[in-house]
Structure 1
Amino acid sequence: MTRLFNDPTAFADELIDGFVAAHPGHVRPVRGGVVRATRCTSDTVALVIGGGSGHYPAFGGLVGPGIAHGAAMGNLFASPSTQQIVSVARAASNGGGILLSYGNYAGDVLNFDAAEAQLNAEGIPTRTVRVTDDIASAPASEKHRRRGIAGDLTVFKVAGAAAEAGYVLDEVVRVAELANERTRSFGVAFTGCTLPGASEPLFTVPEGRMALGLGIHGEPGIGETDIPSADGLAQLFVEELLAELPEGVASPKGRRVALVLNGLGSVKYEELYVVYGCIARRLQEAGVTIVEPEVGEFCTSFDMAGVSLTLFWLDTELELFWRAGADTPGFRKGLVSPRPRVSAESGVQKKPSSEAVMVPASEESRAAAPRIVAAVDAIAAVIDAHVEELGRIDAVAGDGDHGIGMQRGATAARAAAHAAVEAGAGAGSVLLRAADAWSDRAGGTSGALWGVMLRALGTRIGDEDAPDAHAIAEGAADALAGIRSYGKAEVGDKTMVDAIVPFVETLVARVIDGEQLGDAWDAAAAAATAAAAATADLLPRVGRARPHAEKSLGTPDAGAHSFGLIATAVAATLTRKDFAR
């Protein structure tokens, strides 16, 4: 288990601070992550990678000459926020455009896609390549739904080398896409991992058994078997990966592959080398030539006892870039020429240097703002009270980070709301500030979606008038529309949407019928809570829980459950006389 920490909610921030302090010659801090500490050639493509913390050396440990120019580093097992990604990309930009690359997880897709759109709108050409190497997470017919695990390394390495070689953005994208198409991984686990502050691992494996097809976020495997010998594990890995060859590779015989044997945290190097010897022999028997294999820890999962094998099927161009030199804190290969350091004066501040100008508000709106703050306080309090429960529910088929992510987001929103009121903000601006703080601090899918919801509500309420029941109901409807547009989930997918839809439908209908907001909200909260509980009977159709759908039966969706808790907590802050019709 993870034993050494201070405040679990600050763990990711503190590990980044320590990482930067330990590697000042390689990285420098920026808001949202790290960028290279050395100068880059102007007009070259900048590779910006990222994802949740807890996977070192992914992602910050791969920043340096030969691989990435920057890494956006989110909370534990949670995507970095859109703001973090944009901040890192701006700081990493060399003038030749940005390539964003990351593992294919729902929260990362939401936030990186939003960052890509924002950067392009700012005039910084930006493209994306998602890594989809894990063959256990979806069938070959649905490769686009596969998640990224240790195969991140091969894609990042090749894309970074192409950028170093002077390829333009379109060509770097082409090479990265080809590398992803030719990368396949499969992993196993013997024990789960334990997040800082948690008393139990995210999943367990019976003594003497091995989970098949693990994820790197504590997701349980898709099956179990007895723990084999090292040679038996090598046979499993080779058989699984040779059974699915990428397009253009008709047979393994005579082919050249790069290989990554990855330890996930607790399997020792000595064990990895025993397994590698068996893998090398079996691949040789299949007629495969191994090119510069890598054995070690490249994409971990805290203290998980697990191993994954990645095969990267090479052509001449890909092999050239795989062999190219790299010098990062967590990965070194070949020789890299010395690079001048970036001056300290040119560093990017970790926090914004100034607050945004407060929008003028009417006296009525400012008078209503404390009511909004009371609601945000209630949200933070109910999340604090249920943080462990939310993590436990999420860990059944997901990654277990929902509780701590919601706590970070709600705590940040509370602080931002109080600061906004003290600065004289109106009701709408209080919600807008809370929305930005929530999404930025929480990251992940829930952070992005709660930011969308609060921003939609705040925009509808505005700062001109005191919010009434109709404005709030319309804002809730706007929030639902934003969630559907941004997250793409619908009722029945086993997500937060299953609770939001009945909440909004009930609230809007009752307000239209003339009920006061307090009564209408009570009924809507009850509908959301009942719908959240009913998600226990659903199979997830989207998100990280999808590959483990059957495991989630009998357990409600964590996002829907937290929404029900929040709706109920806010109801207690609404007295019947607060809002007129």
Structure 2
Amino acid sequence: MRKIINNAEHVVDEMMEGYISAYSRYYVKHPDVNGVILKQRRKDKVALVIGGGSGHEPMFSGFVGKGLADAAACGNIFASPDPNTIYQTAKAVEQGKGVLFVYGCYAGDNLNFDMGEEFLNDDGIQTAHVRVWDDVASAPQERIEDRRGIAGDVFVVKIAGAACDAGLELEEVVRVTEKARDNTRTIGVATAPAQLPGVEQPIFTLGEGEIEYGMGLHGERGVLRTTWEDADVLTEKMYKQILDDSDLKTGDEVCVLVNGLGSTTITELAIVFRKVKKLLDADGIKVYDTDLNNYCTSQEMGGFSITLFKLDEELKKYYDMPCYCPYYAKGELTGNTGEAAGGQTEDVQIKSEPEFDVNDVEAAEIVRSKAGILEELNAADARNMLLYIADKIIAKKPYLTEVDSAIGDGDHGIGMAGGMQKVKKKLSHMENEENVYALFEAAGKAMLLSMGGASGVIFGSLYLAGAKGMEAKKAIGAEELAHMEKKSLAAIQERGKAKVGDKTMVDALAPAVEAMEANSEKSLAEMLRAAEAAAKAGVENTKKYQAAFGRAKSLMERAIGYQDAGATSVWLIIQGMREFVEDICEEK
């Protein structure tokens, strides 16, 4: 498939430039990160910041507007924004009343928004979040917090924006928004795959006459691959699953959204709603309002979702409040955001801070302190080892993309390569650093603040968590490296809650750390050989597991037989350490 792009690496940046330019009447881009900021907003209110991966347009950037979100933090295609993007975007719009974050419940979004909140809290800014989990197909009721956020985002953002503009305190805004979230149910199906810009193969394939039932917004496989059925038959099946999961009853009122996934026509969506309306009428459930549109998309994916949003008098009040953005409007239809109704407005003033770019694609010049096997890593060697690993991961981007595409959304290789480019740029300014731990900490922080997705927080912690707070050292050996990675593993498991057998990077890292500890009294090279072998075995073991986290979780036993991309990256990183120490670095 041909995408109308220039360079796949610059898709989000160029999209953002064009989007802001087209709607400059309403928006300004944050000068340092991919944050869309509403130019004029009501003063003295809770700030609403939404966000997630790009590629779902108009969600999330297209839902910044009057009576909606004040800003959106935008990640790479199908990947969550990194903590720095979230932090900087929110800081640009907060007004002393606190910040509410609304986003879909995905592992990467949860980790990165949590970290962004921590940074804001460190600055004395009060925050809260509401994770949208409307996808009834992705987990049962008893595990509702594991459900994904899909098209129900539209209703939750609408209510949250109205509650913020009504001047409610943060605690009350959270209560109303959570009520909206808990009254929202969605299920979707895919009829054709999407394709990531720059990736040759689609995210998944469907046979003739097949559909993916319960499909996620990132191209994750659904809960069932089944045969195509007529629109009425399929719609009734989806409708019944929503009703079985909800407490809707005769006399209730709902808003309905039939959402296209990118390439579905309004004609098709209207045919689906026709059946939904008949089913609601038969059950005595009243339709208060309806939308037929492509709001939460997945590039050019074919298919649709049905969302039912149950109203009560309080939610109806906030739903009826006017809102406007270029892609979504309710109530008074005015395209003028020059004056926000009912309150004073505030012009955006954002201080730009210098930041390193991501255009470093050439292999670094690797210089070792001596030829042959190293017995320890001094600061110069540690820096060069990290640069070598970065180049290794960048070179393996196609391989990691292929691994991730099997059961994920194919963005792991892109994210890892982008993070490693940041590492290279950061370390290029640290030639004179004498503290080994400071180099690992800087590399980890560069990844954490740039990558987005779950990988940014997790792989940033692989370097950062173990090195942070350590007493400065000019050189480290096997024992110190083993101790550092043990600390990192503990921090990763504390933050992500994963254990061996959950089909995550922990399946490679945990046995590698165990091997490091068992061999830490040996030479650095011997210890890393054992760790690499253990990590590789861990990667193989992931093929036997179902996924307990991330986008492969909903596949259940269908994830068996495929290796985990995060575990694969851990193995490659440890392999890179061993290759550098043994002086057998690959040519890039």
TM-score (norm 1): 0.91
Superposed displacement of residue 343, structure 1: 4.9
Partner of 1:22: 22
Q: Does 2:65 align with 1:64? A: yes
Q: Does 2:342 align with 1:339? A: no
Q: What whole-Å deviation, never above 9, does each CA across 1:483-513 have from its counterpart, x for those lacking one?
A: 111111111111100111111111122123x
Is contact 1:417-1:434 (8 Å) kept? yes
Partner of 1:360: none
Counterpart code for 2:186: S
Superposed displacement of residue 39, structure 1: 2.5
Identity level (%):
37
- Any stretches of 5+ residues in structure 1 without a counterpart? 355-362
Is contact 1:461-1:467 (8 Å) kept? no
Superposed displacement of residue 380, structure 1: 2.4
Superposed displacement of residue 445, structure 1: 0.8
Q: Does 2:499 align with 1:500? A: no
Partner of 1:483: 492
Partner of 1:174: 175
Instruction: Tell which deviates more after alignment, 441-450 or 277-286.
Output: 277-286
SS for the counterpart of 2:307 is strand
Superposed displacement of residue 399, structure 1: 1.9
Is contact 1:420-1:429 (8 Å) kept? no
Partner of 1:414: 424
Distance 1:459 1:301, change over 3 A: same
- Provide the C-alpha distance between the structure 1 equivalents of 2:275 and 2:351, rounded to a whole number of angstroms: 47
Q: Does 2:278 align with 1:278? A: no
Q: Identify which of 519, 537, 542 aligns with 1:530.
A: 537
Q: What whole-Å deviation, never above 9, does each CA across 1:457-482 have from its counterpart, x for those lacking one?
A: 43366544222332222111111111
Q: Does 2:454 align with 1:445? A: yes
- Provide the C-alpha distance between the structure 2 equivalents of 1:371 and 1:548, rounded to a whole number of angstroms: 43
Instruction: Tell which deviates more after alignment, 367-376 or 302-311.
Output: 367-376
Partner of 1:435: 444
Partner of 1:359: none
CA RMSD of aligned residues (A): 2.2
Superposed displacement of residue 15, structure 1: 1.7
Superposed displacement of residue 226, structure 1: 2.5
- Provide the C-alpha distance between the structure 1 equivalents of 2:187 and 2:478, rounded to a whole number of angstroms: 53
Partner of 1:551: 558
Distance 1:375 1:6, change over 3 A: farther
Q: What whole-Å deviation, never above 9, does each CA across 1:301-330 have from its counterpart, x for those lacking one?
A: 111101001000000111121222111232
Counterpart code for 2:287: I
Distance 1:121 1:347, change over 3 A: closer
Aligned pairs (5 A) from 1:127-138: 127-138=128-139
Q: What whole-Å deviation, never above 9, does each CA across 1:99-143 have from its counterpart, x for those lacking one?
A: 111111111111111222332232211111110100000011211
- Provide the C-alpha distance between the structure 2 equivalents of 1:575 and 1:389, rounded to a whole number of angstroms: 24
Partner of 2:77: 76
TM-score (norm 2): 0.90
Is contact 1:194-1:302 (8 Å) kept? yes
Aligned pairs (5 A) from 1:377-396: 377-396=387-406
Instruction: Tell which deviates more after alignment, 163-172 or 109-118.
Output: 109-118
Aligned pairs (5 A) from 1:342-353: 343=347, 346-349=349-352, 351-352=354-355
Counterpart code for 1:573: F
- Provide the C-alpha distance between the structure 2 equivalents of 1:238 and 1:343, rounded to a whole number of angstroms: 45
Distance 1:500 1:214, change over 3 A: same
- Provide the C-alpha distance between the structure 1 equivalents of 2:455 and 2:411, rounded to a whole number of angstroms: 10
Counterpart code for 2:109: D
- Provide the C-alpha distance between the structure 2 equivalents of 1:480 and 1:414, rounded to a whole number of angstroms: 23
Partner of 1:368: 378
Aligned pairs (5 A) from 1:468-479: 468-479=477-488
Q: What whole-Å deviation, never above 9, does each CA across 1:537-580 have from its counterpart, x for those lacking one?
A: 11112222111022221111111111112211221110389xxx
- Provide the C-alpha distance between the structure 1 equivalents of 2:10 and 2:570, rounded to a whole number of angstroms: 24
Is contact 1:438-1:450 (8 Å) kept? yes
**How many residue pairs get matched?**
558
Partner of 2:374: none
- Provide the C-alpha distance between the structure 2 equivalents of 1:169 and 1:300, rounded to a whole number of angstroms: 30
Counterpart code for 1:541: A
Q: Identify which of 550, 556, 576 aligns with 1:569.
A: 576
SS for the counterpart of 2:378 is helix
